[in-house]
């Protein structure tokens, strides 16, 4: 009989239906986003082949969606050579059009029957461009490609473009002269997915400057067409961060173009995810910030859906949606018990619901709430793609995990949690089983010290981060006197991180030393239950401390990130703060994840 079965059996005998659960793992609030699917998931369709077409006749106007869908008079090209009319690369959900009279490479998204222009690609730099020639590359049903020459005042640039069957992604390669690409097209929202903390959400209405640099770490998303399209750029190497150009006045202010830069030997991929409900938004106001709101959004397919709550200071709190939760209740070392703020209810269709997490620090929410599919679950249809799918299919799994620092995102756990000691040890003593289970008890008492020491060390790494960061910021105040106000805000947030080093291991070791002699004794000399509760009390204090440290660093990271978009002069300090915060946020313990 296992010790868990044993203890639960004893607990059941004494308390009827009561069941004891050992705390050997901890739920992480960011993880329960998997949406359950019906049992009869449809078999996937064969992937749509990749193809390159020659329209035969140049068009002075953009190709309409019906023209792309019908392909009337077009010729499929599979051999390298010149194009007579306009060139169109097609694959599942994506058409890439190079018109001989066009001003750029036009990216269309669609379902094969209806197509819409989503973005126009031109080389980076100032001035207008014109397509000056197109050459077909060798292709087959699995892949197709072309080389496009564009002419501008800076000279000529040649870009290679290719698509693969079944993937709504075009790979771009600088063949000659290209420093980078501009994605031209209006969007209110841009997102920089953050796999260590919370996303960076850019709302054009809140960015006062007309040109700014943002800290893109290989990915940038634009949300288009009122929830019907997401255009995502992915790159493996880059000479510099993305540059955004904005224009217009509120409420019509938009991101007009996004400039991306090739690194040496690097590539840029552009993907289009096309479906009604692929993203959604809801405005959070004083009227609904403390209320439960049903979104005007039907979940289009099963996935991990990520929700971003905007705060008044433009930072973001990111959560994953729960699905049909029996209870939304959770526990956090930051605030104790809480209600999960975003979930899906299946009732004649899957509807999204939110209730902003105002209980958490800096919980003053206002502005747009956004939701999009961040990753797959096992029930996600094979013909649907998420943002993580785009990254993996662009970069490849190995490079993608390296760039995303997948190892650093993993949750660490060591030893046995203190609540296990509190729940298990007193019952074994109460029923006189401690001698028979002495090996298990001694192992538990050893491993709980491993756990306490690990959390203690993690807290102390945050304390060290606080000290080192304050030193760095003090230096930057002198070096960047014009940024003193911004740096002062970073200092204020950094000072909220715990000041004193933790030392939970000493009191826990003393209490363990008091319990151990009792295992083989016949007479109780101490209150074993009270001592075990004391161990759990130390653990709870450390759990709360480490969670609060992480929360404060996440907010610090957001503050630096958003300032870079609002104030381009802050870029040097903001970039360094992102590097520092990413390093300390790597390899968290489960207890600090909220």
The answer to whether residues 97 and 135 belong to one domain is yes
Q: End of a domain among 257, 274, 291?
A: 274
- What pLDDT is attached to residue 497? 96
Residue 140: CATH number of its domain: 2.70.98
Q: Which of 575, 576, 585, 592 is nearest to 554 (CA)?
A: 585
Residues 55 and 24 in one domain: no
- For residues 155 and 16, state if they share a domain: no
Give the pairing type, strands 342-346 and 322-323.
parallel
Instruction: Name the one residue in this structure whose structure tokens are 């990216």.
Output: 107
- Expressed in percent and rounded to 5, the helix, strand and coil fractions of the chain are 30, 30, 40
Is 257 within a domain?
yes
- Residue-level pLDDT at 365: 96
Q: Which helix (H) or strand (E) holds 282?
A: strand 280-284
d(CA 363, CA 367): 13
**Residue where one domain finishes, among candidates 209, 243, 274:** 274
Residues 415 and 475 in one domain: yes
> Do 569 and 421 have their domain in common?
yes
Residues 22 and 70 in one domain: no
How many CB atoms lie under 10 A from the CB of residue 66? 11
Q: Residue 161 domain-assigned?
A: yes
What pLDDT was estimated at residue 61?
93
What SS3 string covers 415-436?
A: CCCHHHHHHHHHHHHHCCCCCC
User: In sequence order, what are the residues at sequence separation of 6 or more whose Cβ sits closer than 8 angstroms to the Cβ of residue 190?
Assistant: 201, 202, 204, 214, 220, 221, 222, 223, 244, 255, 258
Residues 9 and 87 in one domain: no
Question: In total, how many domains does the chain have?
Answer: 2
Residues 17, 151, single domain; the answer is no
The per-residue pLDDT for 402 is 63
Together in a domain, 103 and 208: yes
The verdict on residue 62 lying in a domain is yes
Tokens 């960011």, located at residue = 30
Report residue 157: phi and psi, to 5°. Answer: -130, 140
Q: Classify residue 334: in a domain, yes or no.
A: no
User: Residues 149, 270: one domain?
Assistant: yes
Q: Does a structural domain hold residue 177?
A: yes
Q: Which residue has the tokens 């000072």?
A: 495
Tell me what pLDDT residue 114 has: 86
Of 274, 300, 320, which residue is a domain's last? Answer: 274
pTM of the model: 0.85
Measured in whole angstroms, the distance separating CA 66 from the mean position of its chain's CA atoms is 36
Question: What was the pLDDT predicted at 8?
Answer: 55
Q: How far is the C-alpha of 479 from the C-alpha of 571, rounded, in Å?
A: 13
Question: Does 542 reside within a domain?
Answer: yes
- Domain interval for residue 164: 51-274
Whether residue 299 is contained in a domain is answered as no
Same domain, 97 and 236: yes
In a domain, 369, yes or no: no
Kindly report whether the peptide bond that precedes residue 251 is cis, defined as omega within 30 degrees of 0.
Answer: yes
- Looking at the fold, whether 57 and 193 belong to one and the same domain comes out as yes
- pLDDT tens for the chain, 594 residues: list them: 444 554 555 454 444 433 333 444 333 333 333 333 344 445 566 778 999 999 999 999 999 888 999 999 999 999 999 999 999 999 999 999 999 999 999 999 998 778 999 999 999 988 999 999 999 999 898 999 999 999 999 899 999 999 999 999 999 999 999 999 999 999 999 999 987 679 999 999 999 999 999 987 799 999 999 999 999 999 999 989 999 999 999 999 999 999 999 999 999 999 999 999 999 999 999 999 999 999 999 999 999 999 999 999 999 999 999 998 989 999 888 888 999 999 999 877 789 999 999 999 888 999 999 999 999 999 999 999 999 999 999 998 776 776 666 555 556 678 999 999 999 999 999 999 999 999 999 999 999 999 999 999 999 999 999 999 999 999 999 999 999 999 999 999 999 999 999 999 999 999 999 999 999 987 778 899 999 999 999 999 999 999 999 999 999 999 999 999 999 999 999 999 999 999 999 888 888 876
410 neighbors 390 (Cβ within 8 angstroms): no
């Amino acid at each position: 009989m296992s010790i868990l079965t044993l203890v639960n059996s004893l607990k059941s005998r004494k308390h009827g239906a009561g069941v004891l659960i050992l705390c050997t793992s901890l739920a992480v609030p960011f993880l329960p986003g998997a949406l359950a699917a019906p049992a009869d998931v449809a078999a996937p369709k064969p992937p749509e082949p990749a193809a390159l077409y020659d329209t035969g006749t140049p068009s002075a106007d953009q190709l309409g969606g019906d023209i792309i869908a019908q392909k009337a008079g077009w010729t499929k090209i599979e051999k390298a050579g010149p194009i007579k009319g306009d060139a169109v690369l097609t694959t599942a959900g994506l058409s890439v059009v190079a018109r001989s009279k066009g001003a750029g490479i036009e990216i269309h998204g669609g379902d094969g029957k209806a197509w819409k222009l989503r973005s126009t690609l031109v080389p980076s730099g100032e001035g207008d461009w014109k397509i000056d020639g197109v050459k077909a590359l060798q292709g087959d049903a699995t892949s197709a490609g072309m080389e496009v020459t564009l002419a501008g005042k800076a000279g000529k640039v040649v870009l290679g473009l290719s698509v693969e069957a079944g993937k709504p992604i075009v790979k771009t390669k600088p063949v000659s002269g290209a420093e980078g690409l501009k994605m031209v097209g209006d969007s209110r929202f841009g997102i920089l997915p953050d796999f260590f903390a919370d996303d960076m959400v850019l709302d054009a209405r809140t960015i006062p400057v007309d040109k700014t640099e943002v800290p893109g770490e290989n990915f940038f998303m634009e949300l288009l067409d009122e929830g019907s399209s997401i255009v995502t750029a992915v790159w493996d190497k880059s000479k510099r961060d993305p540059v955004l150009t904005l224009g217009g006045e509120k409420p019509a202010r938009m991101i007009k173009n996004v400039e991306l830069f090739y690194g040496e030997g690097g590539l840029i991929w552009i993907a289009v995810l096309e479906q009604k409900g692929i993203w959604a938004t809801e405005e959070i106001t004083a009227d609904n910030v403390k209320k439960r709101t049903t979104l005007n959004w039907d979940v289009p397919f099963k996935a991990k859906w990520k929700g971003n709550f905007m705060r008044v200071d433009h930072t973001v709190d990111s959560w994953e949606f729960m699905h049909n939760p029996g209870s939304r209740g959770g526990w956090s070392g930051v605030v104790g018990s809480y209600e999960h703020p975003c979930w899906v209810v299946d009732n004649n269709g899957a509807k999204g619901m939110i209730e902003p997490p105002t209980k958490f620090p800096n919980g003053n929410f206002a502005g747009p709430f956004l939701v999009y599919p961040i990753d797959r679950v096992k029930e996600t249809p094979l013909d649907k793609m998420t943002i993580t799918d785009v990254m993996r299919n662009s970069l490849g799994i190995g490079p993608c995990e390296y760039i995303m620092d997948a190892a650093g995102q993993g949750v660490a756990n060591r030893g046995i949690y203190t609540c296990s000691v509190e729940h298990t040890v007193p019952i074994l003593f109460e029923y006189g089983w401690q001698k028979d289970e002495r090996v298990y008890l001694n192992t538990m008492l050893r491993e709980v010290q491993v756990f306490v020491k690990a959390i203690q060390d993690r807290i102390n790494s945050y304390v060290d981060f606080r000290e080192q960061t304050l030193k760095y910021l003090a230096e930057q105040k002198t070096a960047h006197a014009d940024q003193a106000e911004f740096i002062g805000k970073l200092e204020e947030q950094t000072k909220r991180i715990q000041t004193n080093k933790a030392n939970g291991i000493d009191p826990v070791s003393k209490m363990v030393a008091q319990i151990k002699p009792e295992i083989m004794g016949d007479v109780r000399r101490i209150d074993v239950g009270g001592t075990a509760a004391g161990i759990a009390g130390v653990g709870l204090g450390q759990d709360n401390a480490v969670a609060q440290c992480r929360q404060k660093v996440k907010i610090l990271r957001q503050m630096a990130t958003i300032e870079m978009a609002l104030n381009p002069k802050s870029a040097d300090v903001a970039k360094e703060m992102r590097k520092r915060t990413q390093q300390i946020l790597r390899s968290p313990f489960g207890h600090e994840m909220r």
